[in-house]
Amino acid sequence: MSSTAVSERGTAPRPAAFITGAAGGIGRAVALEFARTHNLVVTDRDPAGLLSTQHQASLLGAQTVHRSADVTDENALRELLAEARTVFGPVTNVVACAGIAPGGTVETTSLDDWHRVLAVNLTGTFVTARVSISSLRETRGSFIAIASDAGTFGAQDLAAYVASKHGVVGLVKSLALDFGAEGIRSNAICPGFVETPMMRQIFDESPAGTEEYYRNAVPTGRFAKPGEIAKIARHLTESNYANGITYAVDGGSTAGYYRAPHTS
C-alpha cells in the first residue's frame, strides 16, 4: 500500500532532493542534511518512519513530498516525482539509500533471498536512477548511490549483499559515462559499518565477538555515524567535477591490512 502526502503546499525557491530509504538510518540522515537547504521528495516502505523524517525536516525549514512505496516499484516512484514536480519543479539531487543486508553464503542463501537482495539493492538503485534521469537532465543535477565497502571488497557470509553492491558500483560508473555529457554527475559512496538499524541487525545475528572484530579492523577505532555519510553526500553534490567516483568512507578500513594497536 502506498500514499502520497505533501507537508505544506506552495512553491518554494529551494532546490529539491529525492531520497529513497529515507525513513531511517543513512537515508534519514541524508534527508535531514539536505533539509537545511533543499525541499525533500522522500520515499521508503516504512510510512511511520517517513512521517517522522518529514516532521524533523520541517523543523529545518524544508517542505516534503513523501510516499511509502517499495523502491522497486517504478510506477510508484514515477508518480511520486510527478507529484513533487508540481510543487517543487524537477529534482536536482538524488540519493539512493534503500537497501537490505541479510547474511548468508552461496550455500545458505536461498534463491528467494538472493532475488530479494538483488531486487532491493541493485534493481532499486536502477529504478531510482531511471525515474530521475529526465529531471536531472533538466537541472543538470547529481545522482548518488549509497553502495558499500562491500561494493569494492568481499565480505564473509554476505554473498548476495556483496554481489548486489558490486553491481551498484558498476551501475553508477555506467551512469557517469552515459549521462555525464548532459551535465548529470553520478557517484557511489562506499561506507564501512555505520551505526544504523541495519548494522545492529547484522551484529545481533552474528556470533559473539563479531562486532568487536570489525571495530578493531577500523583504523579510526569506531564505526561511522549516519550524519558523517550524509555530509559526504552533500560534498559530492557540491563537487562539480566529481563524476564516476567510488568514494570510500570507512575510517580507513579498506586502505590496507591493519593490525589494531591492542591486538597481537
Binding site for ligand NAP (CB under 6 A): 21, 23-27, 44-46, 49, 70-71, 97-101, 120, 146, 148, 191, 193-194, 196-199
**Measured between alpha carbons, how far is residue 112 from residues 46, 69, 88, 120, 172 in Å?**
22, 20, 39, 12, 25
CA 64 to chain centre: 18
Of 183 and 219, the one with the shorter C-beta distance to ligand NAP is 219
Nearer to ligand NAP, 70 or 228 (CB): 70
Closest CB 47 distance from ligand NAP, rounded Å: 10
**Residue 101: CB minimum distance to ligand NAP, A:** 6
CB distance 120 to 102 below 8 Å: no
**Catalytic choice (161, 213, 247, 258):** 161
- For residue 73, report the phi and psi dihedrals to the nearest 5 degrees: -90, 90
- Alpha-carbon gap, residue 74 to 201, rounded angstroms: 28
Q: Shortest gap between Cβ of 36 and ligand NAP (angstroms)?
A: 19
Smallest gap from residue 50 Cβ to ligand NAP (A): 9
Q: Is 241 a catalytic residue?
A: no
CB nearer ligand NAP, residue 182 or residue 205: 205
For residues 173 and 215, which CB has a smaller minimum distance to ligand NAP in the complex?
215
Cβ proximity of 258 and 219 under 8 Å: yes
What is the distance, to the nearest Å, from the Cα of residue 165 to the centroid of all Cα atoms in its chain?
11
Which residue type, as a one-letter code, is found at position 193? F
| Cβ atoms of 74 and 127 closer than 8 Å | yes
Q: Which residues are catalytic?
A: 161
